Chain A
Amino acid sequence: MNFALPLLEKLKQEMTSKTSEIIQADSKMPILKIEAKDIREAVKKLHDDPAFDMKYLNCISGLHLTQTKEDGTLDLLGFEVLYVFSSARDFSTIAVRVDLPEKNPAIDTIDDLYGSANWFEREVYDLLGVNFINSSDLRRIMLPQDWEGHPLRKDYKEQASYNGMPTTRPNEMESIRIE
């Protein structure tokens, strides 16, 4: 018995924009795919409406979508941000997914609704560079503050050195190789 699917269909009905769609409907965790501008509306409904009663934010995860072309190069297809919520009432879990463009990915913050969202958003910002608009405190959470780039992007290029420390080490076996 999947508790989440009826809830997700109800959320889909109540959204003002009718562009949302349910994906992975037969899986354990069905996902409602919505547009980035509707995220505040959907999350507010999940948080405040007693019919949903989603008081717990499990996680916010990010993904850089790519496709390998025939010549081996990567086709960058933008970002995906997934919000997973749980209800303490019947332990149902539902997920809301947002797709963002490759250039300047940005989405409204939800950390005024869920206090725990701030650290998740900082993690997604730190590793993927997704900008959360109006966030109360959007800094890097794990990497040093002076780090350049976002390492989980598929097109990330490692710097040659960081703060004077080289990021590579010569292979010492190469120096004793007999030609």
Chain B
Amino acid sequence: MSFYQELPENILVTNIDQLLGWGRKHSLWYLMFGLACCSIELMHTGGPRADLERFGSAPRGTPRQSDLIIIAGTLTYKMASRLKLLYEQMAEPRYVISMGSCSNCGGLFDKAYSVVKGVDQIIPVDVYLPGCPPRPEALLESLIFLQKKIQNEKFLRK
């Protein structure tokens, strides 16, 4: 009979890293940063059919309460300095989902004079989500992908 089987029924055994990761991955509050048509899909994902809040991910109106920023749409040079300011106001650990072709690489506006050719030229990106715009299911999958990444992080020893 192993050690685990001898435990009473209401005791679970885990390690601190797993427990912290489990808690952190289910409380990914995201900053609403809708810039273009991708933000419509972001709103759908927050709506009842896809429902991001099932996964503990609630929209916040301020960067100081957010763990995640979903960059949904076309980032212009004029907005880029604002994005950098918002990102720097977020408390660490902070995560970035780059949603849609425009924020990944400029996308449709590859040759435009005013569009940043990829958000990763401004801030580090954790998950790139392709699509123009991506469907709500795709955004959900990118969130689950990010949750897997957070679950496996060693938060206590860097």
B27 to chain A, nearest CB (A): 33
Name the A residues within 8 Å of B114 (CB-CB).
143, 151
A162 to chain B, nearest CB (A): 5
- From known contacts A144-B77, A144-B78, infer whether A165 and B113 are also in contact, taking CB-CB under 8 Å: no
B130 at the interface (CB under 8 A from A): no
- From known contacts A166-B121, A169-B105, infer whether A156 and B77 are also in contact, taking CB-CB under 8 Å: no
Is there contact, CB below 8 Å, between B117 and A169?
yes
Majority SS at the chain A contact face: loop
Is there contact, CB below 8 Å, between B117 and A166?
yes
Docked CA distance A172–B75 (Å): 20
Q: Which residue of A lies closest to B79 (CB)?
A: A144
Docked CA distance A168–B106 (Å): 9
Interface flags, A150-176, vs B, CB<8A=1, else 0: 010000101000110111110000000
B117 to chain A, nearest CB (A): 4
Docked CA distance A39–B81 (Å): 40
B49 to chain A, nearest CB (A): 34
Is there contact, CB below 8 Å, between A156 and B113?
yes
Is there contact, CB below 8 Å, between A162 and B117?
no
Name B79-117 residues within 8 Å CB distance of A.
Answer: 80-81, 105-106, 110, 113-114, 116-117
Interface size on A, residues (CB 8 A): 13
Is there contact, CB below 8 Å, between B80 and A165?
yes
Is there contact, CB below 8 Å, between B117 and A143?
no
Docked CA distance A144–B118 (Å): 19
Docked CA distance A142–B105 (Å): 22
Majority SS at the chain B contact face: loop
A139 to chain B, nearest CB (A): 14
Docked CA distance A167–B76 (Å): 11
Is there contact, CB below 8 Å, between A169 and B106?
yes
B132 at the interface (CB under 8 A from A): no
Is there contact, CB below 8 Å, between B113 and A168?
no
- From known contacts A143-B114, A151-B113, infer whether A165 and B121 are also in contact, taking CB-CB under 8 Å: yes
Docked CA distance A165–B122 (Å): 7
Is there contact, CB below 8 Å, between A165 and B106?
no
Is there contact, CB below 8 Å, between B118 and A169?
yes
Name the B residues within 8 Å of A168 (CB-CB).
117
Name the A residues within 8 Å of B81 (CB-CB).
163
Name the B residues within 8 Å of A163 (CB-CB).
77, 80-81
Name the B residues within 8 Å of A158 (CB-CB).
113
Q: Which residue of A lies closest to B121 (CB)?
A: A165
Chain B residues at the A interface, C-beta cutoff of 8 Å: 77-78, 80-81, 105-106, 110, 113-114, 116-118, 121-122
Pairs of residues from A and B, 9 with the lowest C-beta to C-beta distance, nearest first: A169-B117, A151-B113, A144-B78, A162-B77, A169-B118, A158-B113, A165-B121, A169-B105, A165-B116
Q: Give me 14 other A-B pairs in contact (C-beta within 8 A), A151-B113, A162-B77, A165-B77 excluded.
A: A144-B78, A151-B114, A158-B113, A163-B77, A163-B80, A165-B116, A165-B121, A166-B117, A166-B121, A167-B113, A168-B117, A169-B105, A169-B106, A169-B110
What are 9 of the A-B contact pairs (CB < 8 Å)?
Answer: A142-B78, A162-B77, A163-B77, A163-B81, A165-B77, A165-B116, A168-B117, A169-B110, A169-B118
